[in-house]
Structure 1
Amino acid sequence: MSAPLRKLSGDPSCKNGQCPTLWGTDDDKEYVVQGYVITDRKRLAQLDLPEGETAVVVPAAVLEEYFRARG
């Protein structure tokens, strides 16, 4: 069974609660990033993602909030 997730930080400009968010497990062994799907083919080609992986765009404010809280 996977470890439960807890919200670590989110987009401060979010109005509806369904915005880019950083999640982590209680044991701090994994992080999950919720973000906007990348649909730009040129951008996706730069990433050269292997089968089974994906990438999302997350506003800098989400990660800045997390690191600010940890600091």
Structure 2
Amino acid sequence: MALHLLGKDPESPEGKSPTVYYDDVTDNYLVQGWKVLDADRLSELDLPEHETVVEIPKRMVQFFPEVNGGGGTGV
């Protein structure tokens, strides 16, 4: 597995979450964020049993290459 750290939430109190990674083997993103536990919000999603949902703040979008015009901005 070849994960590349693209960026961490600059406002995270301990610098541990949320975080965006890129996997260059699968060509997918991995997003570490806050667990969505609110039943009302989850009921609005068509979420298969094998999937989960995490939440990240809007400011984290900057770390996706498609948004920032290239590679991740880093940490």
The RMSD of aligned alpha carbons is 1.9
User: Is 2:4 the partner of 1:6?
Assistant: yes
User: Is 2:50 the partner of 1:52?
Assistant: yes
Hey, which of these two has a bigger chunk of helix by percent? 1
Are the structure 2 counterparts of residues 28 and 53 from structure 1 closer, same or farther at C-alpha, using a change threshold of 3 Å? closer
The alignment-based identity, stated in percent, is: 36
Q: Secondary structure at the match of 1:18?
A: coil
2:16 alignment counterpart:
18
**1:21-71 Cα shifts (integer Å, max 9, x gaps):** 110013571110000000110100111200110001001111124433628
Count of residues in Structure 1 that have an aligned counterpart in Structure 2 = 69
Q: Could you tell me which runs of 5 or more consecutive residues in structure 1 were left unpaired when the two chains were aligned.
A: none
Length-normalised TM-score, structure 1: 0.80
2:38 alignment counterpart:
40
Q: Could you tell me which runs of 5 or more consecutive residues in structure 2 were left unpaired when the two chains were aligned.
A: none
